[in-house]
Structure 1
Amino acid sequence: MQVLSTGKLKTNIKERLRETYPEVTFHFYPSMQEAEPKLAGAEILLTYGEDLNAELIQKASHLKWIMVLSAGLERMPFQAIKERDILVTNARGIHSIPMAEYTLSVMLQVARDTKQVLANESSKIWKKKTPIREITGSTIGVVGTGAIGSEIARVAKAFRMKTLGVNRSGHEVDHFDVIYKNEELSSMLPKCDYVVSVLPSTSETANYFTKEQFAAMKESGVFINIGRGDTVDEQDLIDALNEHQIAHAVLDVFKDEPLDSSHPFWKMENVTVTPHHSAISDNYQPRAIEIFEHNLIQYQKGTNDLKNVIDPDRGY
């Protein structure tokens, strides 16, 4: 059994995999360009999901399973994968801790006007009277109640926040006080002090947030996007911020990345821009490889007890 990896895995992880699974032949490369000569013989592919296309899938004549070492799958050539009946799993769930920490940290930063405080510090300005609010007891609405959304709600409970969530069916999820269906979003938004989007990029979520949703939010509301950039109509968000329909936006993801230096978001005082790093953690690779190892053992046994199996028709 040959496993080909095109992700830049840490040396200690590569060494441990080789030692733990001597019956498996591992080929580790830092890129698909360097790994491509080994592609035809690989049965399993480890990838971050951004280096595949239909042509490469066809070249991988022995490929049976793709393990994506991330949660995002929007660049995967699912039609070609489906035609070959290739199993796809991903690392869904490993981002929940760092992304929940990011979300609560930026909520505190906005509430305590940290952006202005740091600007004052840089300019050596001693200004004690800065608008500061508490997040304790406020209401958070999370759109996307999977592992990340549930962890955000769990951590928010430490601040005695009321937790509202939105998912497709309206099914109950741990740590949420109330769950709304997708079509009930407009009923939830006016109740929220903070609205957090954890939506993936799919045909169903494109421009999910437009002027209608921003108009429904509180004028004091804060919008936080840690999902995908194409779920938001950026011009509608800019208009909503300029017209003071909402108070602030914290954006970690954008339609085009990296964000162009000429983009209005950079200069807007009521926008906080971060470079798509909400999921970054020193525990990222160990957690992703833990899922891979579980699935590798089950795959070798020929069982169906695999984690995070992806439906190629839905893309998640």
Structure 2
Amino acid sequence: MKIIFTFQPKEEFISELKNSFQEVEFLFYKKIKEAEKELPEAEVIVTMGEDLTDFHIEKSKKCKWIMVTSAGLEKMPFKAIKKRGILVTNARGIHRIPMAEFTIGLMLQHAKQLQAVWKQEKDSVWSRRLPTSELHEASLLILGAGAIGGEIARLGKAFHMKVTGVNSSGTPAKHFDSMFTLKTFQTELGNADYILSVLPSTEKTKHLLQVEHFEQMKDTAVFINIGRGDLVEESVLLEVSEKKLIQHMYLDVFDKEPLPKDHPFWENEGITVTPHLSSITKKYMPRALEIFKKNVTTYRNNSENYINVIDAERGY
């Protein structure tokens, strides 16, 4: 059994895998180009999810399973994968804790005006007139009530926030006071103090939010996007900021990354840019490989109890 990695984990992780599955031949490459010669013999391909193409799927004649060690799948060649009937699993859920903590951190930073506090400290200014607020009883609308959204909702409840969510069916979920769908969530926009998106990139979510949605929000509302950069067109975000339709936007994801140095977002007072780091943690790879190891055992046992099976038709 041959398993190919199209990226190079740290040596400690390589050793752990080899020790755990001594009968498996693991091959590790820094990038997909280096792995191409071995693809025809690989039963399993492990990827970060951004390097495989139709060419690679066609070349991987023996491939039965692709493990994506991230949650993002928008760059995966699903048409070719579906045609071949290849199983796909990913690392959905491992971002739950770091992204939830990151989001709560942003909301606390905003409520307590910490950016302004840090500027005052730098300028040696003593002023207690900052317009601070509380998360207590504030309203939080979470677009994307999955594993990450659910953890954010749980933490929000610790601050006694009113938490509403959006999922595909509108089915109620734990820690949410109410649930909406992509077709009905607009009715809640005017009530939310914080609007957070953790939505994936799909045909239904691409450019979902338009200027009209922000016009329905409170002028004191805060928009946070830690999901995907194509949820809102950049021109829409700039128009929203120029018109001061809401109080502030915290953006961690962008249509094109890294964000160019001359991009207008950097200098915009109504926008705070963070460099797609909401999911970054030292525990990322150990968590992803733990899912992979459990699925390797399932694969070897010819079982069907895989973790995080992806629907190639839907792309998630």
Q: Normalised by the shorter chain, which TM-score bucket?
A: over 0.9
Provide runs of 4+ in structure 1 moved above 4 Å: none
Which string of whole-angstrom CA distances, capped at 9 and with x for unpartnered residues, describes residues 36-59 of structure 1?
222121100110011111111111
Aligned equivalent of 1:173:
173
Aligned equivalent of 1:210:
210
**Higher helix proportion (structure 1 or 2):** 1
Aligned equivalent of 1:159:
159
Which string of whole-angstrom CA distances, capped at 9 and with x for unpartnered residues, describes residues 227-251 of structure 1?
0000112222221222121100000
Structure 1 unaligned runs (5+)? Answer: none
Structure 2 unaligned runs (5+)? Answer: none
1:125 aligns with 2:125: yes
Which string of whole-angstrom CA distances, capped at 9 and with x for unpartnered residues, describes residues 112-143 of structure 1?
22222222333333333222111121110000
**Deviation of residue 109 (structure 1)?**
1.0
Which string of whole-angstrom CA distances, capped at 9 and with x for unpartnered residues, describes residues 184-232 of structure 1?
1111111110000011111111101111211111110000000000011
Aligned equivalent of 1:284:
284
Call closer, same or farther: CA 1:277–1:83 in 2, change over 3 Å. Answer: same
C-alpha RMSD of matched pairs (Å):
1.1
Q: Are the equivalent residues in 2 in contact too, given 1:222–1:247 (CA < 8 A)? A: yes
TM value normalised by structure 2:
0.97
1:235 aligns with 2:235: yes
1:43 aligns with 2:15: no
* Secondary structure of residue in 2 paired with 1:27: strand
Aligned equivalent of 1:73:
73
- What amino acid does structure 2 have at the position aligned with 1:21? F
1:87 aligns with 2:90: no
* Secondary structure of residue in 1 paired with 2:184: helix
Aligned equivalent of 2:187:
187
Which string of whole-angstrom CA distances, capped at 9 and with x for unpartnered residues, describes residues 14-65 of structure 1?
1011011111111112221222222121100110011111111111111110
Aligned equivalent of 1:226:
226
* Secondary structure of residue in 1 paired with 2:107: helix
Q: Are the equivalent residues in 2 in contact too, given 1:65–1:88 (CA < 8 A)? A: yes
Which string of whole-angstrom CA distances, capped at 9 and with x for unpartnered residues, describes residues 131-158 of structure 1?
2111121110000010000000001111
Please give the alpha-carbon distance, in whole angstroms, between the structure 2 residues aligned to 1:26 and 1:99: 31
Q: Are the equivalent residues in 2 in contact too, given 1:144–1:165 (CA < 8 A)? A: yes
Aligned equivalent of 1:31:
31
Aligned equivalent of 1:6:
6
Please give the alpha-carbon distance, in whole angstroms, between the structure 2 residues aligned to 1:181 and 1:33: 41
Please give the alpha-carbon distance, in whole angstroms, between the structure 2 residues aligned to 1:95 and 1:57: 27
Q: Are the equivalent residues in 2 in contact too, given 1:295–1:307 (CA < 8 A)? A: yes
* Secondary structure of residue in 2 paired with 1:309: coil
Please give the alpha-carbon distance, in whole angstroms, between the structure 2 residues aligned to 1:307 and 1:188: 34
Q: Are the equivalent residues in 2 in contact too, given 1:214–1:237 (CA < 8 A)? A: no
- What amino acid does structure 2 have at the position aligned with 1:237? L
Please give the alpha-carbon distance, in whole angstroms, between the structure 1 residues aligned to 2:272 and 2:127: 21
- What amino acid does structure 1 have at the position aligned with 2:212? E
Aligned equivalent of 1:64:
64
Please give the alpha-carbon distance, in whole angstroms, between the structure 2 residues aligned to 1:46 and 1:10: 15
Q: Are the equivalent residues in 2 in contact too, given 1:57–1:81 (CA < 8 A)? A: yes
TM value normalised by structure 1:
0.97
Aligned equivalent of 1:144:
144
Please give the alpha-carbon distance, in whole angstroms, between the structure 2 residues aligned to 1:258 and 1:80: 28
Please give the alpha-carbon distance, in whole angstroms, between the structure 2 residues aligned to 1:61 and 1:270: 51
Please give the alpha-carbon distance, in whole angstroms, between the structure 2 residues aligned to 1:267 and 1:305: 49
- What amino acid does structure 2 have at the position aligned with 1:128? R
1:250 aligns with 2:250: yes
Q: Are the equivalent residues in 2 in contact too, given 1:5–1:28 (CA < 8 A)? A: yes
* Secondary structure of residue in 2 paired with 1:245: coil
Aligned equivalent of 1:299:
299
